[in-house]
Amino acid sequence: MFKIALLGANGQLGQEIKDLLVEYPEFHFEAFTENDCDITKEQDLFYTIESSDFTHIINCAAYTNVAAAETDKKAAFAVNDEGVKSISNICRKKQIKLIHISTDYVFDGEKGSPYFEMDQTNPINEYGKSKLAGEQHVKNLGQNGLIIRTASLYSSGNTNFVYSILDKVKRKEGLKVVCDQFCSPTFVNDLAFAIVNNILDKPIHGILNVVNEGEVSWFDFAKKITELAGHENYPMIKVKLDDFKSVVHRPKYSVLSIKKLKTISNITMRTWDKAIEQFMFQINGGY
């Protein structure tokens, strides 16, 4: 019988995984928000994890403010590196399986074709560097460690790119969107379902990409969002990534391949366009 500790249960992915786990009676779990368990504090980890009899940990806790990480590197590494190290040490000591969530930003974006799990990493911003540092601790767990790399998450009730676009449309603001940066935008519901239904109970270790299939530029993704919101001709201006004023260096092409996922499970991830169609249907009262 599995007994699961879900860390970061108040984030986009954590919330969705928590809601899903309730539907699986074979999985006993406890969900911890940052207030319940701050992974940068050894005392919190001891009382919530080390002193319990968990068989699995799903770590969704992370420092995800990419821009802020550039100016507060210490805070980013405290969570994404040192916090993960502390969790990994407990997992090694107690032989707990750790499923850890990582990012496409561990790559520099220079490959020009979808990244496979074992491609060379080379993060170009502090957020990516902190996440890559955390990955190493999970890799050291061997068969008890699984890193799930995902990208560009969106869900209902949270701040993300989709809601940012919809909010600007609602306010009738102009849209300037990067047209030469490509990614694998991922519907959190699909990612959570893959983890809980197809990955959690399987002996998978190492690294696994889990994203909605396909690739799209941020400009075309924004265009699809406005069209689905009923604004097919909403004015948008294309801008180049190099011309976009930001404190963060971002990879131009960080699309993730899910070829490995397809070979080890019976899951089929929807394409990015089908996923956003479903999401827009859902938030517009489709259910």
- Is residue 92 within 8 A of residue 72, CB to CB? The reply is no
Q: Which residues are catalytic?
A: 127
How much is the pLDDT for 223?
Answer: 96
DSSP element (H, E) containing 14: helix 12-21
Task: Report residue 285's pLDDT band, with 50, 70 and 90 as the boundaries.
Answer: low
- Concatenated DSSP letters of 19-67: HHHTT-TTEEEEEE-TTT--TT-HHHHIIIIITS--SEEEE------HH
At 141, the amino acid letter reads: L
Confirm whether 129 is domain-assigned. Answer: yes
Q: Is the pLDDT of residue 257 over 80?
A: yes
Q: Is the pLDDT of residue 287 over 60?
A: no
What CA–CA distance (Å, rounded) separates 47 from 108?
A: 38
123-144 average pLDDT score: 98
Confirm whether 248 is domain-assigned. Answer: no
111-138 average pLDDT score: 98
Query: For residue range 150-185, what is the model confidence (pLDDT) as tens digits?
Result: 999 999 877 899 999 999 999 998 899 999 999 999
Percent of the chain scoring above 90 in pLDDT: 86
- Is residue 175 within 8 A of residue 165, CB to CB? The reply is yes
How much is the pLDDT for 159?
Answer: 82
How much is the pLDDT for 130?
Answer: 98
Confirm whether 280 is domain-assigned. Answer: no
How much is the pLDDT for 123?
Answer: 98
Domain that holds residue 84: 2-158+184-213+255-270
- pLDDT, averaged across the chain: 94
- Structurally, the chain folds into a number of domains equal to 1
Confirm whether 11 is domain-assigned. Answer: yes
Confirm whether 120 is domain-assigned. Answer: yes
How much is the pLDDT for 283?
Answer: 86
243-270 average pLDDT score: 89
Q: Is the pLDDT of residue 188 over 90?
A: yes
Confirm whether 236 is domain-assigned. Answer: no
Higher pLDDT: 202 or 139? It is 139
CATH number at residue 203: 3.40.50.720
206-223 average pLDDT score: 97
236-261 average pLDDT score: 91
Query: For residue range 84-98, what is the model confidence (pLDDT) as tens digits?
Result: 999 999 999 999 999
pTM: 0.95
How much is the pLDDT for 232?
Answer: 87
Query: For residue range 10-55, what is the model confidence (pLDDT) as tens digits?
Result: 999 999 999 999 999 889 999 999 999 999 999 999 999 988 999 9
| Lookup: tokens for 103 | 């990012």
Q: Is the pLDDT of residue 286 over 60?
A: no
User: In 45-174, which ranges are E strands?
Assistant: 56-59, 97-103, 145-150, 153-154
Q: How many CB atoms lie within 10 A of CB 50?
A: 17
Confirm whether 220 is domain-assigned. Answer: no
| Lookup: tokens for 50 | 């080390």
Phi, psi (degrees; rounded to nearest 5) at 3: -125, 115
What CA–CA distance (Å, rounded) separates 180 from 216?
A: 9
Confirm whether 53 is domain-assigned. Answer: yes
